């Protein structure tokens, strides 16, 4: 049973690109979850939490996140993002709990479809076609 992010690599989920917010906890989460399967974690500023400042550019952030979620990954792989719940909520309206994963299927054109919401303790019970 997968009980921690650090055990996620046991599921052998095929991983392609791995993108993280600059926040240390986002980078560490990906490293612990996929360290044996990932050559590089790309730090992406637009995955950082939504700031409460006058210089905040919600349109730019929305466009960057939208691009990441609707881009189809390389064949046979999954793109993994480690961001903040505020980012996901701003784009999708979903309230994501800490430690929860949200799985989207990109259409490669302009949007993406919600496939699953996975609590940290639910990874082992996923059907193979979702992995």
Range of the structural domain that residue 74 is part of: 5-125
pLDDT digits (tens, 9 = 90+) for 101-126: 888 999 878 888 998 888 877 766 76
Is 75's pLDDT higher than 90? yes
Q: Is residue 28 in some structural domain?
A: yes
130 band by pLDDT with thresholds 50, 70 and 90: low
pTM of the model: 0.77
Is 10's pLDDT higher than 90? no
What pLDDT shows up at residue 26? 85
Strand 112-118 to 101-106 pairing: antiparallel
Q: Is residue 130 in some structural domain?
A: no
Q: Is residue 131 in some structural domain?
A: no
| Average pLDDT for 49-74 | 76
What pLDDT shows up at residue 73? 92
HSE-up of residue 123 (Cα within 13 Å, Cβ side): 21
How is residue 96 written in tokens? 């994501």
Q: Nearest 5°: phi and psi at 110?
A: -140, -5
What pLDDT shows up at residue 69? 87
- How many domains does the chain fold into? 1
| Residue with the larger pLDDT of the pair 1 and 87 | 87
11: domain CATH number is 3.40.50.1240
| Residue with the larger pLDDT of the pair 39 and 43 | 43
Instruction: Extract long-range pairs of 56-62: CB within 8 Å, 24+ residues apart.
Output: 58/90, 61/87, 61/90, 62/90, 62/91
Q: Is residue 112 in some structural domain?
A: yes
Cα–Cα distance measured from residue 40 to residue 66, given in angstroms and rounded to the nearest whole number: 22
Strand runs (DSSP E) across the chain, as ranges? 15-20, 42-43, 78-82, 101-106, 112-118
Least confident piece of the model among 28-32, 70-74, 88-92, 120-124? 120-124
């Amino acid at each position: 049973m997968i009980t921690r992010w650090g055990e996620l690599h046991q599921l052998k989920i095929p991983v392609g690109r791995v993108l993280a917010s600059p926040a240390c906890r986002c980078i560490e989460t990906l490293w612990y979850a996929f360290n044996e399967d990932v050559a590089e974690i790309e730090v992406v500023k637009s995955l950082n939490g939504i700031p409460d400042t006058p210089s905040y550019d919600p349109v730019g952030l929305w466009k960057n996140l939208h691009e990441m979620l609707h881009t189809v990954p390389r064949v046979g792989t999954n793109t993994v993002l480690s961001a903040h719940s505020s980012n996901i909520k701003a784009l999708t309206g979903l309230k994501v709990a800490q430690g929860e994963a949200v799985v989207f299927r990109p259409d490669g054109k302009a949007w993406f479809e919600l496939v699953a919401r996975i609590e940290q303790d639910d990874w082992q019970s996923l059907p193979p076609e979702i992995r």
